Structure 1
Amino acid sequence: MTDLCIVKQNDIKQLTFTFLLIVAATAAFSQSKFSNNELSVNGFRNPSIGIEYRIGQSSAHAGYYTTAFKKSEYTNFVKVGYTFWFFPSGKGELPSAFYSGASYMRGLNRDYQGKDAMGVELGYRWMVWKGLNLRIGAIGVTAKDLSFKISPTPGISYSFKL
């Protein structure tokens, strides 16, 4: 049992280190095409079904998150986190961009019910039309006494420049 806890602590340390490394590496190469303030209403999965507020290249989000680690078996969480945006592209007020994020997740059902978890994400947000955007990425989730899992993270949002 002790070995399992050490592995989980190492997973969390590795996820945190990877996230910070991505943020540090991309900060040096990012451009300043981002608007100062943006509010997003997230309607499907990524980063959560809820809201997100971005200032420059950083955003915070909160909401309900659902994913299927196994086919047709949905695991649900309350999720809050931080996202770092980099490599903006496009000519609109709200650019498409890559993102990397870290989140605290509280399990609501299945193996994660009542458990604290950590998620690390990497992906791309494509601005389709005006504020409508689609996201595609992946999340790695770890929690004490559970195996590390990776899941795709599609999303649909609408963003408003403030």
Structure 2
Amino acid sequence: MTFMKKIIFIGFLFCTKISFAQSTLSEQEISFNFFRNPSVGLEYRYKKVSVHAGYYLTNFKANTTWEFVKTGLSFWFLPIGKREKPSSFYAQMSYLRGQNRDYKNKNAVSLDLGFRLMIWNGLQARLGIIGLYAKDKNLKINPTPSLNYSLFF
């Protein structure tokens, strides 16, 4: 078996193990998002879909900040662990409106994939990667870390 086939096989076994250890997400959740992912703002989740809105800050190059107003949808899948509030993966689609620099008053869209780690009660950390695109601009890829707090219903 080639090295790549071994990696794929091990990944398949890992995913199978995860699927058997899955929990379920709570019915509803409100998140206060303090940094970048999905934005500095609020998010409401019902079952496996959430809507978010807020202010998104990012750095496409060192020591330079771009600012956007951001709103969109997140889809939650593969809850992991046996905790009451499990960690899980997410995928986001968002609309952004540039607020400064070369994106000022420009529309953009983004896709973000990542993982939310539940730390304690509603405290969570997210780590994702975003692809941001605007007309007449190159696709930008950036990490999207965050620290958030959720209330569950």
TM-score tier, shorter chain, comes to 0.7 to 0.9
Distance 2:23 2:45 in 1: 14
Which residue of 59, 67, 72 maps to 1:81? 72
Once superposed, what is the RMSD of the aligned Cα atoms? 1.4
1:126 counterpart = 2:117:
yes
Task: Provide the residue aligned with 2:40 in structure 1.
Answer: 49
SS at match of 2:102: helix
Can you give the 5+ residue segments of structure 2 that lack an aligned partner in the other structure?
Answer: 1-18
Can you give the 5+ residue segments of structure 1 that lack an aligned partner in the other structure?
Answer: 1-28
Q: How many residue pairs were aligned?
A: 134
1:97 counterpart = 2:99:
no
Using the size of structure 2 for normalisation, the TM-score is 0.84
SS at match of 2:25: coil
Write the letter of the residue equivalent to 2:121.
K
The answer to whether the 8 Å contact 1:93/1:161 transfers is: no
Q: Which has the higher helix share?
A: 1
Structure number with larger C-alpha Rg = 2
Using the size of structure 1 for normalisation, the TM-score is 0.79
- CA shift at 1:127, angstroms? 0.2
Using the aligned pairs only, state the percent identity.
Answer: 53
